Amino acid sequence: MMIVFFWVILALIIYTYFGYPVFLTLMALLERKQFKKSEITPTVSLIIAAYNEEKSIQQKIVNSLSLDYPKDKLEIIIASDCSSDKTEEITAKYRDQGVRLSVAQKRSGKTAGRNRVVPEARGEINLLSDATGMYEKDVIRKLVRNFADRQVGCVAGILRYINPTSSVVGSGEGLYWRYEVVLRKKESLLGNLTAVSGSIYAFRKELFRKIPEELADDLIMPLTVKKLGYFCVFEPEAVCTEEAAKEDSEEFSKRVRIANRNIMGLLYCASLLNIFKYGVFAVQLISHKVLRLLMPLMMIALFVINPLIMNRSEIFASVWAAQIFFYGAALLGFIIQKRFSKRNKVLCVPLFFCLTNLGILLGIFKFCRGQKKAIWEPVR
């Protein structure tokens, strides 16, 4: 029985990271969607979530005002979550240039701010962003051209990290996002993104639905769009840049929080996991989200089972040796980082992978303990 468990777990691990892209490629050959694009200029509300962003809010506002889009069709809203620094004071200086400030009555988190501000927004299209995400000038035009197709309900741009070598997590994050971009491009061929970047995604306001404050809007929005019968696509030419984490501990905490909220989000939209009703999309959601959340548990199970059957075959012994080598490389990378404050480009890959999955594991524990965190702290 242990041998069966071994092969099932190993197959799921390999499928999650390598088989899933192959699955998407094959499905795109069979079910690729064709969406029309056209240079349209609907009214757009750019909603920027901010909490104590005095270091970046002015740059973000200037960046937003410089975007290449008709000024009479662009509304800029800063959604402050009761900032206690100069964020709101700085924003107020741009009131005459059409920048609107919306302040929460009490600090309640990013999703609560979305629930509060979107109903007040005037744009046909709502574009959500963070205060640290800087847009290229043509971002809005690149995003909204996809809405020329009435089947499209949500469009995600691409997030690119700058200075990604400042930390081990930052280096791994850059590599991780390049892998994620490949997956999103493939998912987009089916019109079925399973998540979007919170720094840059747009949706039809008519599709807006309030969601519980503890959930992550960048996961729930594409799932909501799917439930309503629309498609969510990826626009790689709409670029947002953001600085990668400088401190590993900060980014690690973010991974824990994301895992916790993803579990709650998947439970909230559990009906979408029904393969008989949602077909390929359900398989995508299971592959990209559910199996990712189960990865640390599968890694632990494989590590425990492997030595118990190692003597039965050279294959089992080889897999055990590969695990020891991989985790040893991660540990060595961690020691070098902490003791010598240096980053090794090769070792940062296994270290980032292990830290990410440790973050997911802690997120699972927090969820099991009933911890729900709706309040976010900027980590950049």
Q: How far is CA 351 from the centre of its chain?
A: 20
pLDDT digits (tens, 9 = 90+) for 174-189: 677 788 889 999 999 9
Q: What is the mean pLDDT of residues 14-35?
A: 94
| 297 is a domain residue | no
75 SS3 class:
strand
| 181 is a domain residue | yes
Q: What is the mean pLDDT of residues 198-225?
A: 93
The model's pTM is 0.88
Q: How far apart are CA 348 and CA 331, in angstroms?
A: 10
Note whether 297 and 361 are within 8 A (CB). yes
For residue 303, the model assigns a pLDDT of 95
| 8 is a domain residue | no
Q: Exposure string (b/e) for 333-347, b if CB count within 10 Å is 16 or more?
A: bbebbeeeeebbeeb
| 266 is a domain residue | no
Q: Where are the beta strands (DSSP E) in 32-135?
A: 44-50, 74-80, 99-103, 125-130, 134-135
Q: How far apart are CA 235 and CA 310, in angstroms?
A: 47
Q: Where are the beta strands (DSSP E) in the chain?
A: 44-50, 74-80, 99-103, 125-130, 134-135, 152-162, 201-204, 231-243
Residue in the block written with tokens 């299209």 = 125
pLDDT digits (tens, 9 = 90+) for 127-171: 999 999 999 999 999 999 999 999 999 999 998 877 655 555 555
Radius of gyration for the alpha carbons in the chain, expressed in angstroms and rounded: 22
How many independent structural domains does the chain possess? 1
Residue in the block written with tokens 């099991």 = 368
Task: Tell me the CATH number at 234.
Answer: 3.90.550.10
| 118 is a domain residue | yes
| 10 is a domain residue | no
For residue 369, the model assigns a pLDDT of 87
| 212 is a domain residue | yes
For residue 108, the model assigns a pLDDT of 85
For residue 165, the model assigns a pLDDT of 52
| 309 is a domain residue | no
Q: What is the mean pLDDT of residues 360-377?
A: 80
Range of the domain at 166: 44-255
